[in-house]
Amino acid sequence: MVLNRALLLQPAAKGLLFAVCLLPFAWLVYGVITNNLGANPAEYLVRSTGDWTLRFLCIVLAVTPLRVITSTPQLARFRRMLGLFVYFYVTLHLLSYAWFDMGFDLGDIAKDIIKRPFILVGFSAFVLLTPLAATSFNRAIKALGAKRWQLLHKLVYAIAGLGVLHFFWMRAGKNDFNEVFVYAAILSALLGWRAMQYVRKKK
């Protein structure tokens, strides 16, 4: 265990994690180059980038519980990078939709956001994520102050809810909720753990 904690502190650990987080993106790029994304590559890219956004969101929210439960504070140094990868994949998700579905027509995109609730919810999650990504560096923490910075970054809980709702409405058209329930269960457990920790501190 001590050896594992020491390895987490190695400078190379962040570089390795960065490379691992880029693997889904590299796989998608490879699929585009080799024309190996199925019968509907555009839909595959939109769905895959959305899936990876939710997966990384779950990973980010799992860092603190895992750090506390395993008594491994070294894990905290990876949380910021993982959070930025959430924003990276949600940006790819939005760009894939804007490009392949809407042809980058801003007028049509705006109308579509207003017209379709599940897109409005997804876009709202992206908007809320933007200030979190923009303040994910030390100067922002100093400028905002630790308390205000922490309060701002609690938006991730609302973002998680919006992400699941976006996914739920998207799958409602096909009446396919299996994956939705998996993500909902994971996020509920992670947020529930935080709620229990908050109640314990207040006692």
pLDDT by residue (tens digit) across 137-153?
888 888 999 899 999 99
Secondary structure letter of residue 174 according to DSSP: T
pLDDT of amino acid 92: 97
Position 117 scores a pLDDT of: 92
* pLDDT, position 3: 41
Q: For residue 38, what pLDDT is reported?
A: 85
Q: Which residues of the chain have pLDDT under 50?
A: 1-3
Q: How many CA atoms lie within 13 A of 131 on its CB side?
A: 15
pTM: 0.92
Beta carbons within 8 Å of 165's beta carbon, 6+ residues apart:
118, 121
What is the model's pLDDT at position 141?
87
* Residue found under tokens 């409602």: 172
Give the model confidence (pLDDT) of 97-110 as tens digits: 999 989 999 999 99
Q: In whole angstroms, give the CA distance from residue 17 to residue 74.
A: 14
81, 21 Cβ separation under 8 angstroms = yes
> Which residue from 42, 134, 148 is spatially nearest to 87, judged by alpha carbons?
134
